[in-house]
Structure 1
C-alpha cells in the first residue's frame, strides 16, 4: 500500500533545502526568476475550524509589468464532504528586488473574495512577503508568509518548489500551513 504524502514532512524538507539554497545554486544563480507565467494545480485542503476536507483545481498567473512590478491572480474552486466547498478569486500586484544572486525578495498586496458553497461570502485583503530563487540547477524554491483578512484573520506559511523540465515548463509542489488548517497542491507551470 502506498503511504500518502505528509505535508509537514514535505515542508520540513523544503525549509531545509531553502536554508542552504544560496550556496547550492550553480547554473541558475545568475538567472533571474520569471514573473510572467501561468499554472494549474490540483489542491487538497484540510480546514480544522470547519472540520472540512476539500479538494479541487486552482488556476493562477503572474505578469511582469515594468522593471520590478508585477500583477498576479488566482482562481480556486474546491468542494468536499459535510457541505464544504468554496470558490476564491484573488487579484493584486507585487514588487520584487534582488536579494542575492538567483534569489528575489518580494511583497504582494491582493484583494480576495471567497464564496462558500453554503454560507455568506466575504471580501478582504491578502498581504504577503517572501523569497524566490534557485535551490539547484532546475529547482526553484519559495518561502512566503501571507496574512488574509477574509472571515477570521489568519496568517499562513506557504512553501513551494518548481522543477523545470525546460525553460518554459515545470512541475509544481506547494504547501500551506495556518492556524485554520493546511493544504497541498500539485500541478504544472508555464513561463511566457
Structure 2
C-alpha cells in the first residue's frame, strides 16, 4: 500500500513539474520580446516620411503586449498619425525561429488642407522571427489591416545586434502600389 502511494505521489509530482514547464514560453530561439524601438519611416506614395515609436512587453509566457505610434508627413500637406495597441502569441518553432501572431487595434487620424478624417480598425499579423546568424535577426510576416479599406502587406526585416541590449536594422513592407521602408534601432530590456 505504501509503495502504491509513493508511486502515485511521484507521478503526481512529475505531472505537476511537466505542467509548470509547459506553462512557460515554448520559445527556443532565445529572442527577447521586451523592447522599445525608434524607426524612421519612408512611404513611397506621395513622398511621405516620419517616425515610429513602438515597443513590446513580454508577459513572461507565450503572450506579449505591443503598441506603436507613427507620425507621417506627406508632400501634399497631409499629416497622418497611426496608433496601434494589442497583443500577440509566440510559438517556439525550433532552436532558431519563433512563430508570432498578433492582433492590434488601429486608430488613424489624417489632417489635410481640405479637412480631417479618422478611422478605427484592426490589424492582424502572422509571421516568424529568428536568428539567421549569431548576431543577425530576421523577421518576415503577412500583415492585414482592416480600416475603411483593407490592405495586406508583406514585411521583411533584419536587425544586427551590437550587444544584448542594442540592435539596428531595416524593414520593407510591400502592398499593392505602396511600399514602406524603415530604418531604426531597438533597445532591449532583458
TM-score class normalised by the smaller sequence? 0.7 to 0.9
Deviation at 1:149, TM superposition (A): 0.5
Which is bigger in relative contact order (C-alpha 8 A, separation at least 6)?
1
How far apart, in 2, do the equivalents of 1:82 and 1:172 lie?
29
How far apart, in 1, do the equivalents of 2:40 and 2:97 lie?
27
How far apart, in 2, do the equivalents of 1:191 and 1:95 lie?
19
Alignment match of 1:154 (pick from 146, 151, 156): 151
Do residues 181 (structure 1) and 178 (structure 2) align?
A: yes
1:138 maps to which residue?
A: 135
Q: Per-residue displacement from partner, 1:65-102 (whole Å, max 9, x unpaired)?
A: 13110000010001021123200000000000111112
Q: Per-residue displacement from partner, 1:27-81 (whole Å, max 9, x unpaired)?
A: xxx651111000101110023xxxx211111001000013110000010001021
How far apart, in 2, do the equivalents of 1:42 and 1:103 lie?
26
Alignment of 1:112-131 (within 5 A): 112-118=106-112, 119-131=116-128
* 5+ long unaligned stretches in structure 2: 1-27
How far apart, in 2, do the equivalents of 1:173 and 1:84 lie?
25
TM-align CA RMSD = 1.1
* 5+ long unaligned stretches in structure 1: 1-29
Q: 1:129 to 1:53 in 2, by over 3 A?
A: same
Do residues 60 (structure 1) and 51 (structure 2) align?
A: no
- Which protein shows a greater Rg? 2
How far apart, in 1, do the equivalents of 2:122 and 2:133 lie?
33
Q: Give the length in aligned residue pairs.
A: 159
Q: TM-score, length-normalised on structure 2? A: 0.81
Q: TM-score, length-normalised on structure 1? A: 0.80
Deviation at 1:151, TM superposition (A): 2.5
